[in-house]
């Protein structure tokens, strides 16, 4: 409760600190049970960074001595940290507990490093789960091993303190790993049991290894952005070739040739299917670029022409022929009203760029993302796209995704509060519209009214 106080600013400050510290209680059984619902690695990261900073501040306060200015400044920072901890769920800065004797500076510095390592490991794991386009299965496995090592090392480091219960964040990470390794079918060989502890003295090396994985993801992210940018440039100038005719074609083909050369820097061959699809059959069929001398461009155009003559599935040929001679049905237009300007995630085998473009156009989507999955590979690449706030609907092509991935996608969509539509057959816009009307039109209409 708040009480009116009289006295100097310093006296009021002492009273306020006493009130805050009196409310700080050593939490009994701070480790959570597996039944406590969803475990949040983002909160683990936040609390561990704060705990690492609190240990370092305590060391700094010990060294203050008779310097009153530094004592005041560190005390204010301590009060800010305590206030921050009070605003977070289940966050206890045990190092500021006045009724206990804290470890020496060397031990506290080691504990701070291990808190930092656990924070970095949690951040890396979250990043990999969110980066479906750049993260690989090997990254996921390595991150889980590093997270297990960081949690085990922190547990052992805290054994040298007065704490009698496991640190809550260390315990939550352990339960998170037990749950996720089971769901993802990943086996972690080390540091998951009490009799196989990690060495807290290895925290600097652990932080370095975490940094290496993060830098690898950074490089892959930059590469992905560069490749997408170059493909987008090719796609734009190919449209301009068709739109503006032969008068401006040379300039646009030169830009396309430059983008293809840029892609070669990232080991994307001129005959890569993505380049051929970006050029498109219409631009490629009318190109006389053979006289331009751009060998890479010639190879890309030949690939685009060959791709245009590839045999399409009967279903896609029928869909394309129908859409060329008539307008969309009333059912497609009905679904378009529900999905216009929104985001769709498609699950099922490898991306079909032409089908994706038709679906996005038919329903006037702001964006459509096709998550590529291998038959027996993990389903982790679809987690982040499904969970994104902007995703309005999840479409699962069952015959391409397989029943295991279909079930996982449905469970993820349900957890995220998104409608999940299962397509047992074809995926042309008419079939998609029929499935959406039958399985999700009510929920989409409610969401549309809510916005």
The 3-state DSSP class for residue 257 equals helix
Predicted local confidence at residue 430, as pLDDT: 87
**Coil, strand or helix at 337:** helix
**pLDDT score recorded for residue 74:** 94
Residue 292's pLDDT is 53
Across the strands, what pairs with 367? 343
User: Could you tell me which residues are beta bridge partners of residue 422?
Assistant: 396
In the prediction, which pLDDT does 48 show? 97
451 residues of the chain, pLDDT tens digit each: 555 555 655 555 555 545 444 334 444 334 444 444 558 899 999 999 999 999 999 999 999 877 788 899 999 999 999 999 999 999 999 999 998 999 999 999 999 999 999 999 999 999 988 776 566 778 889 999 999 999 999 999 999 999 999 999 999 999 999 988 887 788 999 999 999 999 999 999 999 999 999 999 999 888 888 998 999 999 999 899 888 877 788 888 889 999 999 998 888 898 888 898 889 888 888 776 444 557 888 888 888 888 776 534 445 544 544 444 346 788 889 999 999 999 999 998 778 888 888 898 889 998 899 988 776 667 778 888 898 889 999 999 988 887 788 888 888 898 888 999 998 877 888 889 989 998 988 888 877 666 6
pLDDT at 68 (0 to 100): 85
67 CB-contact burial (10 Å; exposed 0-12 / middle 13-18 / buried 19+): exposed
Q: What whole-number distance in Å separates Cα of residue 427 and Cα of residue 355?
A: 8
- Write the burial class of residue 446 (CB in 10 Å: 0-12 exposed, 13-18 middle, 19+ buried): exposed
346, 356 Cβ separation under 8 angstroms? yes
3-state secondary structure (DSSP) of residue 422 = strand
- The whole-angstrom separation of Cα 44 and Cα 88 is 11
Q: Which two tokens stand for residue 419?
A: 């409608």
- The two three-digit tokens of residue 313, written as one number: 């599935």
Domain range list for the chain: 37-186, 220-308, 314-450
Q: What is the token pair recorded at 78?
A: 């301590």
The pLDDT value recorded for residue 321 is 45
Domain 314-450 grouped into CATH 1.10.10.410: no
**pTM of the complete model:** 0.63
Q: In the prediction, which pLDDT does 224 show?
A: 84
On the 0-12 / 13-18 / 19+ scale of CB atoms within 10 A, 420 is: buried
Kindly give, in sequence order, each residue whose CB lies less than 8 Å from that of residue 70, ignoring residues fewer than 6 positions away. Answer: 64
State which H helix or E strand residue 347 sits in. Answer: strand 343-347
Helices (H), 24-63: 41-62
Residues 6+ apart with CB under 8 A from 22: none
How far is the CA of 64 from the CAs of 57, 75, 82, in angstroms? 11, 11, 19
């Amino acid at each position: 409760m708040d009480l009116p106080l009289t006295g100097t600013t310093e006296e009021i400050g002492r009273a306020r600190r006493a009130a805050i510290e009196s409310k700080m209680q050593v939490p009994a059984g701070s480790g959570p049970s597996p039944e406590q619902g969803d475990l949040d690695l983002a909160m683990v990261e936040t609390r561990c960074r704060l705990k690492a900073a609190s240990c370092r501040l305590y060391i700094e306060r010990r060294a203050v001595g008779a310097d009153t200015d530094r004592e005041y400044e560190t005390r204010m920072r301590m009060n800010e940290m305590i206030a921050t901890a009070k605003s977070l769920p289940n966050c206890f800065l045990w190092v500021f507990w006045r009724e206990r004797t804290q470890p020496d500076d060397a031990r506290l510095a080691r504990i701070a490093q291990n808190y930092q390592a656990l924070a970095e490991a949690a951040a890396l794991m979250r990043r990999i789960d969110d980066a479906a386009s750049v993260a690989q299965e090997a990254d996921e496995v390595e991150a889980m091993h590093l997270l297990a090592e960081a949690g085990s090392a922190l547990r052992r480091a805290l054994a040298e303190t007065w704490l009698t219960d496991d640190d809550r964040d260390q315990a939550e990470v352990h339960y998170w790993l037990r749950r996720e390794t089971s769901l993802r079918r990943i086996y972690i060989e080390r540091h998951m049991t009490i009799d196989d502890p990690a060495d807290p003295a290895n925290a600097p090396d652990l932080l370095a290894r975490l940094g290496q994985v993060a830098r690898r993801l950074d490089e892959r992210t930059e590469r992905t952005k560069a490749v997408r940018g170059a493909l987008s440039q090719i796609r734009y100038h190919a449209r301009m070739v068709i739109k503006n005719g032969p008068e401006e074609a040379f300039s646009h083909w030169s830009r396309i040739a430059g983008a293809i050369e840029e892609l070669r820097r990232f080991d994307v061959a001129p005959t890569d299917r993505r380049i051929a699809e970006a050029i498109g059959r219409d631009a490629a069929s009318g190109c006389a670029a053979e006289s331009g001398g751009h060998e890479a461009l010639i190879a890309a155009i030949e690939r685009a022409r060959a791709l245009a003559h590839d045999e399409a599935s009967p279903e896609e040929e029928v869909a394309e022929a129908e859409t060329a001679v008539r307008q969309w049905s009333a059912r497609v237009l009905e679904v378009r009203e529900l999905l216009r300007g929104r985001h769709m995630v498609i699950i099922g085998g490898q991306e079909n760029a032409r089908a994706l473009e038709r679906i996005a156009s038919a329903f006037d989507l702001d964006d459509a993302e096709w998550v590529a999955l291998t038959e027996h590979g993990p389903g982790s690449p679809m987690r982040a796209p499904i969970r994104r706030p902007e995703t309005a609907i999840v479409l699962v092509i069952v015959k391409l995704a397989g029943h295991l991935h279909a079930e996982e996608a449905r469970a993820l969509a349900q957890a995220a509060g998104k409608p999940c539509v299962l397509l047992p057959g074809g995926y042309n816009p008419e079939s998609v519209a029929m499935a959406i009307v039958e399985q999700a039109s009510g929920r989409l209409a409610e969401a549309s009214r809510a916005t």
